[in-house]
């Protein structure tokens, strides 16, 4: 059966190419609409008009000139020179009463294709009473190659990526307006390919880059139905997801991070093919009783299984300059069964008092094993069987009451309780022997949290929102203690005749105390403090002028206990991270003439990082991390209305980035500063009724 599944997946990969298909279809729609737009358009009073066309498309070109670190520019923005499609949308309505018409309405939207790093095409087609079809196809080009992450002593970035991802969703609903029942069919694909690198170690002696050739594919198929039975709104969905990974890893003739020792990888090849599938089902129901009690429930169950192979052969030189061949051959698989249940109940006690309770259950079992063979020449051969099992159960209940005292004041109070139990087991035996019964290690945990919030109106044009949540949160790492957290946020909105003000603040405190199990025991700490303050103003003095401006300040300090290898046994140390980010923006729109509009904006990020704190020496048990930088992005664009069908726009964007991190100064790394100039030009074409309504 697994072979049949893999065969069907391969044939699907060969025969179906959604991105090119959708792009071609989108282009066909554009040309079709252009032809309609160029034909004489009947006046709105023409009662015999069957199709109503509205829409516009904006196409143009961008020039890119980068002065400085182009890798950092591409990692941040990845804009390219050339043709691009701006925001475009079209709609067609068939107003005839013919029973044979294909659709009542069709809408197509797209943006970002061409020289942009991401783009999408969305389409929606509907025939009232018969069907509705929705699709969303996206493309992302991802690039990451910076010198402030995973940098070796030779200043190479050991972790980088240059990848392309295409993914999309297709949904067909039959009888969409039927109140008693309707049916759904869906399909999703996710394709990723490209290059990149990761890192590996050799006998703890050196670090080497390993180059990746990414090849990942996943396909989802869903069938579902919705209906109403005895007053209950019911919905059910079954789906199957298949995925496979064929990423390859290679390296040849590399001296590693340290070039003064004998360690050198002569050749490395790694292939880790994985095939898997997931069967999943979702069932939900909802009903309101007498407009007083609302009940909702949802159950999700999934079964995932995968088979994998790991083959690696590495030929390297060790510390004594002896050639070593290290080979791994691993074959295994795993299975995961998961069930999640959500149950909600809301009771409207009075017109001013409401009580709600939400219960959640999440549980899964994971069982997996593999046969492991490691051959080292010269050296030893290891043959063994490995088996692991995990059992996870988590219950959560949130009880909350909402009080609406009057039109100006309301508040809510709540309490959340969670219980988690985990059992972990592992067995490793020599190859050819029987795996003994596994006695799992078990742990149980309970947490409580308090919730409160309010909304009040001091005046008719002033509204304030505030909420707080504090207590303990579950930690998925079972050997660590609970998170102790306190989160608070407040937001104020005030509006006058032509001015609106927004002010908000968010504070988050998160502690994660821990105790080592080794003797003598020692305490570990993780403390994170985050403060975010923001404000904005919108001003529309006259119809021809609109201005928006705002300021955000993000303050964050993190301290984490770590163990640092300083040439011998690991030494207890402290890692500190600082953010002091200031963000300012202003946008303005001006219409000096009925045919002319001007848009201008300026955005400025400035992070001062650790401020005047000095960077500790390399041998210190203190690690200080911060990334002080300045990023300025002004833009100006002018648009001229040429005629009823055309708008002509000319614009210019500037990106100025500069940095000087303490780590770069310490390691002698050149700052990744750059200045980028991006002038662009575009034409927006209005079609059908959109041109008449302008």
* pTM of the model as a whole: 0.85
Residue 101 has pLDDT above 90, yes or no: no
pLDDT value of residue 690: 72
Question: Strand runs (DSSP E) across 408-477, as ranges?
Answer: 409-430, 441-459, 462-473
Burial class (CB in 10 A: 0-12, 13-18, 19+), 367: middle
Q: Which of 25-39, 291-305, 492-506 has the lowest mean pLDDT?
A: 25-39
pLDDT band at 32 (very low <50, low <70, confident <90, very high): very low
**pLDDT-based confidence at residue 25 (cuts at 50, 70, 90):** very low
Distances in whole angstroms, Cα of residue 572 to Cα of each of 196, 560, 617: 34, 11, 16
Higher-pLDDT residue of 1 and 520 is 520
- The pair of structure tokens assigned to 306 is 């995968």
Half-sphere exposure of 210 (CA within 13 A, CB side): 21
- Given a cut of 60, is residue 526 above it in pLDDT? yes
Residue 597 CA to residue 546 CA, distance in Å, equals 11
Rounded to whole angstroms, how far apart are CA atoms 242 and 4? 12
Q: What mean pLDDT do residues 224-234 have?
A: 95
Q: What does the pLDDT read at residue 520?
A: 57
pLDDT tier for residue 517 given thresholds of 50, 70 and 90: low
Which band of pLDDT confidence, cut at 50, 70 and 90, is reported for residue 3? very low
Q: Provide the β-strand partners of residue 114.
A: 84
pLDDT of 479 reads: 55
Query: Does residue 525 carry a pLDDT above 80?
Result: no
Model confidence at 5, in pLDDT bands (50, 70, 90)? very low
Q: What pLDDT is stored for residue 450 in this prediction? A: 97
pLDDT recorded at residue 207:
85
Contact indicator for 72, 672 with CB cutoff of 8 Å? yes
The DSSP line for 196-259 is EEEEEEETTTEEEEEEEEEEEEEEEEEEEEEEEETTEEEEEEEEEEEEEE--EEEEEEE--S-T
Span 385-396, pLDDT tens digits: 999 999 999 999
- Which tops the pLDDT comparison, 676 or 86? 676
Give the mean model confidence (pLDDT) for residues 420-442. Answer: 88
Pairing of β 545-565 and β 526-542: antiparallel
Model confidence pLDDT, tens digit, residues 604-645: 999 999 888 877 776 778 888 888 999 999 999 999 999 999
In this predicted model, which residue has the larger pLDDT, 676 or 37?
676
Question: pLDDT at position 72, please?
Answer: 94
Can you read off the two tokens belonging to residue 260? Answer: 């003064």
Residue 74 falls in which region: left (phi positive, over 0), alpha (psi -120 to 50) or beta: alpha
| Average pLDDT, integer, range 104-122 | 94
Q: State residue 512's pLDDT score.
A: 84
Q: Is the pLDDT assigned to residue 691 strictly greater than 80? A: no
CA distances from 90 to 96, 123, 126, 461 (A): 19, 9, 14, 38
What does the pLDDT look like over 47-58, one tens digit per residue? 567 888 899 999
Position 660 scores a pLDDT of 75
Confidence of residue 309 (pLDDT cuts 50, 70, 90): very high
Residue 14 binned pLDDT confidence (cut-offs 50, 70, 90): very low
pLDDT score at 613: 84
Average pLDDT over residues 221-250: 96
Mean pLDDT of 155-174: 91
Reported as a single tens digit per residue, the pLDDT across 376-418 is 999 999 999 999 999 999 999 999 999 999 999 999 999 999 9
In this predicted structure, the answer to whether residue 9 has a pLDDT above a threshold of 50 is no
User: How high does pLDDT run on average in the chain?
Assistant: 88
Q: What is the pLDDT of residues 556-577, one digit of tens each?
A: 999 988 877 766 677 888 899 9
Q: What percent of the chain has pLDDT over 90?
A: 69
Q: Across the strands, what pairs with 127?
A: 131
110: closest CA among 89, 82, 125, 91? 89
676: exposed, middle or buried (Cβ count in 10 Å: 0-12, 13-18, 19+): buried
Q: What pLDDT, on the 0 to 100 scale, is given for residue 476? A: 65
Most confident of 144-148, 557-561, 578-582: 578-582
Rounded average pLDDT over 3-32: 39
What pLDDT is attached to residue 11?
A: 40
The pLDDT of residue 368 is: 95
Of 18, 177, 38, 46, give the one whose Cα is nearest residue 104. 177
What's residue 34's pLDDT?
Answer: 40
- Is the predicted pLDDT of residue 24 greater than 60, yes or no? no
The two most distant CA atoms of the chain are separated, in Å, by 91
Strands 570-593 and 622-626: parallel
77: closest CA among 649, 581, 675?
675
Is the pLDDT confidence value at 446 over 80? yes
Overall average pLDDT of the 535-564 stretch: 94
């Amino acid at each position: 059966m697994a072979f049949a599944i893999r065969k069907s997946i391969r044939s699907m990969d060969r025969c179906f190419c959604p991105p090119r298909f959708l792009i071609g279809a989108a282009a066909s729609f554009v040309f079709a609409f252009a032809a309609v737009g160029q034909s004489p358009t009947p006046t709105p009073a023409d009662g015999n008009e069957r199709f109503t066309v509205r829409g516009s498309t904006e196409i143009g070109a961008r020039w890119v000139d980068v002065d400085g670190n182009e890798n950092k520019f591409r990692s941040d923005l990845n804009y390219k020179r050339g043709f691009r499609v701006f925001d475009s949308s079209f709609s067609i309505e068939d107003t005839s009463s013919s029973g044979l018409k294909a659709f009542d309405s069709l809408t197509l939207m797209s943006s970002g294709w061409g020289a942009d790093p991401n783009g999408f095409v969305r389409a929606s087609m509907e025939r009232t009473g018969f069907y509705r079809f929705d699709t969303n196809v996206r493309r992302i080009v991802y690039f990451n190659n910076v010198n402030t992450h995973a940098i070796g002593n030779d200043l190479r970035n050991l972790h980088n990526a240059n990848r392309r991802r295409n993914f999309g969703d297709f949904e067909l609903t039959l009888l969409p307006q039927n109140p008693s029942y309707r049916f759904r069919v869906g399909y999703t694909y996710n394709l990723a390919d490209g290059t990149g690198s990761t890192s590996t170690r050799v006998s703890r002696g050196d670090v080497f880059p390993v180059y990746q050739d990414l090849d990942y594919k996943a396909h989802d198929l869903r069938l579902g139905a919705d209906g109403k039975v005895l007053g209950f709104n019911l919905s059910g969905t079954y789906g199957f997801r298949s995925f496979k990974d064929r990423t390859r890893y290679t390296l040849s003739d590399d001296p590693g991070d340290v070039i003064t020792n004998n360690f050198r990888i002569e050749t490395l090849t790694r292939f880790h093919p994985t095939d898997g599938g997931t069967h999943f089902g979702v069932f939900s129901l909802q009903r309101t009783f007498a407009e007083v009690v609302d009940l909702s429930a949802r159950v999700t169950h999934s079964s995932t299984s995968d088979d994998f192979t790991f083959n690696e052969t590495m030929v390297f030189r060790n510390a004594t300059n002896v050639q070593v061949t290290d080979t791994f051959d691993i074959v295994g698989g795993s299975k995961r069964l998961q069930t999640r249940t959500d149950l909600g109940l809301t009771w409207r006690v009075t017109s001013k008092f409401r009580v709600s309770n939400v219960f959640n259950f999440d549980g899964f079992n994971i069982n997996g094993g593999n046969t492991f063979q490691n051959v080292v020449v010269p050296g030893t051969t290891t043959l063994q069987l490995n088996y692991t099992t995990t059992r996870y159960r988590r219950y959560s209940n949130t009880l909350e009451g909402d009080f609406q005292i009057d039109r100006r004041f309301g508040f809510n109070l709540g309490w959340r309780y969670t219980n988690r139990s985990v059992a972990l087991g592992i067995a490793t035996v020599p190859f050819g022997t029987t795996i003994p019964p596994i006695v799992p290690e078990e742990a149980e945990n309970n947490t409580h949290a308090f919730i409160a919030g309010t909304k009040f109106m001091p005046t008719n044009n002033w509204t304030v929102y505030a909420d707080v949540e504090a207590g303990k949160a579950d930690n998925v790492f079972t050997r660590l203690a609970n998170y102790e957290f306190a989160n608070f946020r407040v937001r104020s909105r005030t509006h006058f005749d032509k001015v609106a003000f927004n002010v908000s603040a968010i504070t988050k405190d998160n502690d994660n105390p821990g105790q080592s199990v080794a003797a003598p025991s020692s305490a570990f700490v993780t403390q994170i403090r985050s403060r975010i303050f923001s404000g904005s103003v919108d001003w529309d003095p006259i119809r021809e002028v609109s201005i928006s401006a705002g300021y955000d300040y993000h303050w964050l300090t993190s301290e984490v206990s770590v163990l640092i290898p300083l040439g011998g046994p690991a030494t207890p140390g402290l890692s500190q991270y600082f953010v002091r980010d200031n963000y300012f923006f202003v946008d303005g729109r001006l219409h000096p003439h009925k045919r002319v509009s001007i848009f201008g904006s300026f955005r400025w990020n400035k992070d001062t990082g650790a401020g005047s704190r000095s960077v500790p020496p390399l041998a210190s048990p203190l690690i200080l991390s911060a990334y002080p930088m300045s990023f300025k992005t002004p833009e100006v664009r002018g648009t001229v209305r040429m005629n009823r069908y055309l708008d002509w726009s000319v614009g210019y964007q500037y990106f100025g980035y500069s940095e000087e991190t303490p780590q770069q100064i310490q390691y002698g790394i050149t700052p990744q500063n750059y200045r980028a100039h991006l002038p662009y030009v575009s034409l927006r074409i209005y079609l059908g009724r959109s041109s008449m309504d302008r």
